[in-house]
Amino acid sequence: MKQERTTTEETPKNLRLRGRVYHVEAMIDGEDIRVTTKCTDLREAIKVRDKIIARKMAEATERRAEGPPRDTDFDDAASIYFKDNKDALRAQDEAERVIARVIELIGPHTMCSQITAGVLFRIRAYLLSLPPNENKRGQPRKNEVGLAPKTINKYLEMIIRILNHLEAALPTELPHKPDPARDDIYLPTTGRGRYLSEIDEHLLLEECDQDTRDCIEFDLETGLRAAELVGATWEMVDVIEESITVPIKARGLDPVYHTVFLSPKALAILDRRRGRSQHENIFTFEAGLTYWKDGELIRKGTHIAATYSLLQRKYQDAVDDAGLSDLILHDLRRTAARRIFFEGGIELAQAFLGHRDRQTTEDYLCLTPADTKAAIRHRAKQQEERMALVKSAARRKPTGDPRVARIRAELDRRARQAKDRRVS
């Protein structure tokens, strides 16, 4: 096989020798120029290079004189958007799939200046008429046709994003561009409010093996996303601080970390799992059969790292065996946050979930006025219990409750402090 020859010290600027032929490589007015000279002789290649660069420079000068381009087709606009934003997208594969779908809906050769609110209304009506996805897990659909409003809004929002980015990238102005605030483009949506009751939790755990049970119980204590849960390693656990710090999905290349302090129950789960496997991952499952993976023989019964798909399958099997309905894996995180909300309020739930915006937490929990009233009653009951502990400590009757002993010690400290003030 011939080795490709690259630029040498004798090769002039903007020329690169590839094989036997010289290629022009330059940047002119922000545009990458990569053109073959079709020349094997260096002197001839230099002459061709000079002609190519001169022609490209003249074209760039004409473009600047004419002003920025005013329009382009939607396929080109979508390519510009993805190229400029792919490193900042949370999930490139999902974003690429959505972009491909909206190109199909709009039409690749449709000019962006022709995309109006009316076009989006027709797309919305078309998506509402489609049959729903089969075997969709989660909340049952009330209507028999049409995609979910949240899915439709995802496509419509991507179209708006591409058009907005195009205006800044060219730059240009699309006078008939749809305006969501003015044109009422998006469909109303309702958040998912399903969570596990204590009975649901009991029935579900009864159908789980120990490894799956540990995953579910730990998630209910920490509120981790499923991907964070199965990716958790022992290095992420701080045994001194009694916390776990996991990288969470975020925009950009730098990871963002979220710390959750571990409850006594979560610590007990970790203590139990330390003796089950020497794997670097906290959560593992026993291989159900013997197989080869990456040239290594994995024997039946060997502990392998938990994966999202494996946990999802085991969880769904337990849901089905327990006779439960309308439960998905992400409901564990919502349930954990809801319990924190009732114990400590929305601010604590927001910190627990790692949300930057309080409104995001409120939308995530799908709180109703009844939930808020129930939380107020719950915290009022907690306050009554705390006052009862203080009164019990003040009466100095032996109770054997360590909480009462701590409160009594604090009352004694406050009394000594007050006495010292009076003396001084």
Is residue 2 included in any domain, yes or no? no
Query: Which among 121, 153, 183 is the end of a domain?
Result: 183
pLDDT tens across 380-396, in order?
887 888 888 888 888 87
CATH number assigned to the domain comprising residue 239? 1.10.443.10
Top pLDDT among 177 and 414 is at 177
> Could you tell me the pLDDT band of residue 282, with boundaries at 50, 70 and 90?
very high
Among the candidates 183, 213, 232, a domain finishes at: 183
Is 180 exposed, middle or buried, given 0-12, 13-18 or 19+ CB atoms closer than 10 A? middle
- How far is it, in rounded angstroms, from Cα 346 to Cα 365? 10
239 and 321 together in one domain = yes
Same domain, 220 and 310: yes
- Residue at 361 is within a domain: yes
The more confident residue out of 363 and 272 is 272
Q: Point out the least confidently predicted range of 126-140, 340-354, 383-397.
A: 126-140
| Cβ burial, residue 380 (10 Å; 0-12/13-18/19+) | exposed
Predicted confidence band of residue 133 (pLDDT cuts 50, 70, 90): low
Contact 80, 166 (CB under 8 A): yes
- pLDDT band of 72, cuts 50, 70, 90: confident
Does 221 reside within a domain? yes
For 235, which DSSP code? G
**pLDDT at residue number 422:** 81
In this predicted structure, what is the pLDDT of residue 8?
45
Q: Could you tell me the residue range of the domain that residue 47 belongs to?
A: 15-66
Q: 176 with 273, same domain?
A: no
Over the chain, what is the mean pLDDT? 84
This prediction has a pTM of: 0.60
Q: Using CB atoms within 10 A of its CB, is residue 4 exposed (0-12), middle (13-18) or buried (19+)?
A: exposed
Query: Is 5 within the bounds of a domain?
Result: no
Q: Tell me, yes or no, whether 233 and 141 share the same domain.
A: no
pLDDT greater than 90 at residue 329: yes
Q: Are residues 169 and 308 in the same domain?
A: no
Is 134 in the same domain as 111?
A: yes
What pLDDT is recorded for position 270? Answer: 93
Per-residue model confidence (pLDDT) at position 6: 44
What is the per-residue pLDDT for 332? 94
Res. 334 pLDDT band, cuts 50 70 90: very high
Average pLDDT on 300-304 reads 84
Which two structure tokens, joined as six digits, stand for 295? 């040239």
Domain count, the chain: 4
What is d(CA 119, CA 298) in angstroms, rounded to the nearest whole number? 54
CA distance 104 to 74: 10
Quote the CA–CA distance of 404 and 383 in Å, as a whole number: 15
Residue 155 · residue 122 · CB < 8 Å: no
Same structural domain, 202 and 331 = yes
Cα separation, 226 vs 231, in Å, equals: 8
**Mean pLDDT along residues 43-51:** 91
Contacts of 368 (CB under 8 A, 6+ apart): 193
> Of the candidates 183, 209, 225, which is a domain's last residue?
183
**In a shared domain, residues 228 and 363:** yes
Minimum mean pLDDT range among 5-19, 78-92, 194-208, 278-292: 5-19
Q: Residue 86 above 80 pLDDT?
A: no
Q: If pLDDT is split at 50, 70 and 90, which confidence band does 115 have?
A: very high
Same domain, 92 and 241: no
Reduced to 3 states (helix: H, G, I; strand: E, B; else coil), residue 223 is: coil
What whole-number distance in Å separates Cα of residue 366 and Cα of residue 388? 33
Task: Tell me: do 138 and 172 sit in the same domain.
Answer: yes
**What is the percent of the chain with per-residue pLDDT over 70, rounded to a whole number?**
88
Q: Please give the C-alpha separations between residue 40 and each of 12, 46, 116, 189, 263, in angstroms, as whole numbers.
A: 14, 11, 52, 64, 72
Residue 189 in any domain: the answer is: no
Triad 309, 315, 319: Cα angle to 5°: 140
Q: How far is CA 347 from CA 243, 360, 362, in A?
A: 19, 11, 10
Assess whether pLDDT exceeds 80 at residue 17.
yes
Confidence of residue 318 (pLDDT cuts 50, 70, 90): very high
Q: Is residue 1 part of a domain?
A: no
Q: 222 in a domain, yes or no?
A: yes
What confidence tier does 91 reach under pLDDT thresholds 50, 70, 90? low
Distance between CA 76 and CA 226 in Å, rounded?
A: 36
| 155 and 172 in a common domain | yes
> Residue 175 — pLDDT band, cuts 50, 70, 90?
confident
User: CB atoms < 10 A from the CB of 82, how many?
Assistant: 17
* Residues 259 and 403 both lie in one domain: no
Domain-located, residue 252 = yes
- pLDDT of 267 > 60? The answer is yes
Residue 244 has pLDDT above 70, yes or no: yes
**Which helix (H) or strand (E) is 159 found in, with range?**
helix 149-169
